[in-house]
Amino acid sequence: FNNLKEAFENVCKEFNLEINNDKIDSLVGMWNKSWMLAQPYQEIKEIITELRKKHQVILVSNTDCFSIKQVMEKFDLNELFDKVYLSCEIGMIKTDQNFFKHVLTDLNLTSDDATMVGDSIQSDIMAAKRMDIKAVLIDRRNTRDYHPKIKSLKELSRILEM
């Protein structure tokens, strides 16, 4: 899609919903407000910069291309990552094993070389585990029962050294 309006119109068509321009404009407005209010966690730049001294740091995301690119640019996050893989560009989501196969192949890595750090048990952790990729849950509120788990990226170095 070239823009959010086109994306929402396509969703309406897919679900046989009437395309109402006022409602689509409202959805676009809410979506834009969401990314405009987004804030990276305070420690992100420092921690990723430190991690990159020993590891490649790759961003994989199921988000839409419009929002993520604007947030990355707004907070000057692009230089933090060695490479970025977005489901909207690849044409598949992280729960599809081919997503991780694509990333590993593109980076010339094996599943033993990779560690997935994510906040979704389903789309990050279980998807990675299906590919035999080590997975670490980031659970900032410490509400989910999973191991290994971290509450902050500051704890990641300890996990990676195990």
Verify that 8 and 81 share a domain, yes or no.
no
pTM comes to 0.84
Contacts of 50 (CB under 8 A, 6+ apart): 157
**Range in 18-22, 78-82, 113-117, 128-132 with the lowest mean pLDDT:** 18-22
Task: Give the mean model confidence (pLDDT) for residues 2-19.
Answer: 89
Residue 4, pLDDT above cutoff 70: yes
Verify that 50 and 92 share a domain, yes or no.
yes
Written as one letter, the residue type at 28 is: V
| Proportion of the chain above pLDDT 70, given as a percent | 99
| Proportion of the chain above pLDDT 90, given as a percent | 72
Query: What is residue 162's predicted lDDT score, i.e. its pLDDT?
Result: 64
Verify that 79 and 26 share a domain, yes or no.
no
Task: Give the mean model confidence (pLDDT) for residues 92-119.
Answer: 95
Query: What is residue 118's predicted lDDT score, i.e. its pLDDT?
Result: 96
Residues 19, 12 contacting (CB under 8 angstroms): yes
Verify that 126 and 68 share a domain, yes or no.
yes
In the chain, how many domains are there?
A: 2
Query: What is residue 125's predicted lDDT score, i.e. its pLDDT?
Result: 95
Verify that 25 and 84 share a domain, yes or no.
no
Verify that 32 and 49 share a domain, yes or no.
no
pLDDT bucket at 121, cuts 50 / 70 / 90: very high
Task: Give the mean model confidence (pLDDT) for residues 81-110.
Answer: 95
Both tokens of 104, joined, read: 């590993």
Verify that 15 and 73 share a domain, yes or no.
no
pLDDT bucket at 3, cuts 50 / 70 / 90: confident
Q: Helix, strand, or coil here: 157?
A: helix
Verify that 33 and 62 share a domain, yes or no.
no
Of 131, 157, 151, 130, nearest to 139 by C-alpha is 151
Question: CA–CA separation, 88 vs 26, rounded Å?
Answer: 22
Verify that 33 and 56 share a domain, yes or no.
no
pLDDT bucket at 80, cuts 50 / 70 / 90: very high
